[in-house]
Amino acid sequence: MTPSSGSSTGRPTGIPTGIPTEACVGIVGTGSYLPARVVDNDEVGGPAGVGAEWIERKTGIRSRRRAAAGEATSDLAAHAAVAALEAAGLDPEELRFLVVATSTPDQPQPATACIVQDLIGARNAAAFDLNAVCSGFVFGLATVSRLLGDGGYGLVIGADLYSRIVDPADRRTAVLFGDGAGAAVLGPVPAGHGVLRTRLVSDGAKRGLIEVPAGGSRLPASSATLDAGLHHFRMIGRDVRDYVSEHVPPMLAELILAAGLTPSDVDHFVPHQANGLMLADLADRAGLAEQVRLTVREYGNTGAASVPITLDETVRGVGVHPGQTVLLAAFGGGMSMAAAMLRWSAGMPASRAA
């Protein structure tokens, strides 16, 4: 297949991690895929009982994309993967690892990553899924960058189809989400570049803020769970916003300091595109308002795909230049938070630059 590109108490802090200096791993190619169908605020606002102006005022979102009836998460992921591999100049068979970060897999098993592996011909890659909800891509980036400490290439994909699990009548969620996928190829980069520091945080005591209650071993699918709407995505938006405002800026400050930098040293701040108003507040609190990169207005909240989609658009749009710093940040169900500080290389695998 050759798709086209297109803690119940206290503050959780996580444990900082980094890549050994002798094994510099970074992003050597990015790609993304957005379904063709554009859905405006009038279309989602009707079933949710709200108007287009209300949606934009409350969320900063004007439109989002919807997957076609025959498209699944693996299809979107495969398109983004091919685009990232093309950007990196790599053949799929060169990949050692393939990770799909998603909370909307094609099916409970097998892993969506195994489907993508077959679709793109990455026959030599160990493939697995990772679910940290909207933080998944950054969790995957941190994981694969460590796995590649002894060399080689890996692919991390964030892909979600939230249009399949939101309740169209729930204005708290239906107006926010869009479908999409983004990907990054990781590999060796010159010394002093690549993934400098990462921070991963989980706070399971707050898991009830974002959830899909049914469909697992605790509440298996049944006519009763379907009738009760327990397979729909649920979120307590105000509490999520308060959690993010309290915990994410300190986490970012700690990571920036651990990397030996200050907020003014960050060239590009790429956060999870949850809600336009929330992002404006977050960027201001973190001292990164001038460097924040946004796609939420056009694409809405694309779950685990939002960070890699926005990163790819930044690379292809305003541009990310060698030596610049890129701060990725995400937050989502679990509750989970993740951040990664990167120093950009020339975008060419180190072993091929000579």
Q: Are 129 and 156 in contact (CB under 8 A)?
A: no
Please pick, among 79, 134, 247, 268, the residue that the annotation labels catalytic.
134
Please give the DSSP secondary-structure letter assigned to residue 110: S
Q: Are 347 and 311 in contact (CB under 8 A)?
A: no
123 exposure class (CB count in 10 Å sphere: 0-12, 13-18, 19+): exposed
**Alpha-carbon distances of 316 from 87, 89, 300, 313, 320, rounded to whole Å:** 10, 16, 19, 5, 8
List all residues 6 or more positions away from 260 whose beta carbon is below 8 Å from its beta carbon. Answer: none
272 is catalytic: yes
231 is catalytic: no
Please pick, among 79, 193, 247, 272, the residue that the annotation labels catalytic.
272
Burial pattern 216-243, b for ≥16 Cβ within 10 A else e, equals: eeeeeeeeeeeeeebbbbbbebeebbeb
Q: Are 224 and 313 in contact (CB under 8 A)?
A: no
Task: Phi first, then psi: give them for residue 181, nearest 5 degrees.
Answer: -150, 145
Please pick, among 41, 131, 275, 301, the residue that the annotation labels catalytic.
301
Residue listed under structure tokens 């399971």: 204
133: tokens are 């909800």
Number of residues that make up the chain: 354
Catalytic (active-site) positions: 134, 272, 301
